[in-house]
Copies of this chain bind each other. A is one copy, B any other.
Amino acid sequence: MITKLDLYRMFHTVCKNESFSKAAKSLYMTQPAISQGIAQLEKELETTLFYRTPRGITLTKEGQILYDYVHSAIGILEVGEEKLLEFQNLTTGELRIGVGDTISRYYLLPYLEAFYKRYPGIKLKILNGTTLEIANFIKSGEADLGICNLPIQDDHLQVEPCKDVHDIFVCGDKYANLTKDKVEAKFVMKMPLIFLEKKANSRQYVEQYLREQGMHISPEFELGSHDLLLEFAKINLGIACVIKEFSMDYLERGVVREIELIEPIPKRQIGICSLKSVPMSRAAKRFVELLR
Q: Which A residues are within 8 Å of any B CB, using their own CB?
A: 1-2, 4-6, 8-9, 45-48, 51, 53, 58, 60-62, 65-66, 68-70, 72-74, 76-81, 83-84, 87-88, 93, 277-279, 281
Contact = CB atoms under 8 A, between A and B. Distances in A.
A89 to B, nearest CB: 11
Nearest to A68: B80
A33 to B, nearest CB: 14
B47 A62 contact: no
Contacts of A1: 9, 74, 77-78, 81
Given A48-B279, A66-B83, 11 more contacts: A1-B78, A2-B81, A5-B6, A6-B6, A45-B81, A45-B84, A61-B87, A62-B88, A69-B80, A69-B83, A73-B80
A264 to B, nearest CB: 43
B70 A87 contact: no
B5 A53 contact: no
B5 A61 contact: no
Nearest to A49: B84
A49 to B, nearest CB: 9
Give 7 nearest A-B pairs by CB, closest first: A69-B80, A5-B5, A73-B73, A73-B76, A51-B278, A73-B77, A5-B6
A68 B87 CA distance: 14
B65 A84 contact: yes
Contacts of A72: 73, 76
A88 B5 contact: no
Contacts of A62: 84, 87-88
Given A8-B77, A76-B73, A277 B53 contact: yes
Nearest to A53: B277
A278 to B, nearest CB: 5
Contacts of A6: 4-6
B65 A70 contact: no
B277 A51 contact: yes
A60 to B, nearest CB: 7
Given A6-B6, A277-B51, A83 B58 contact: no
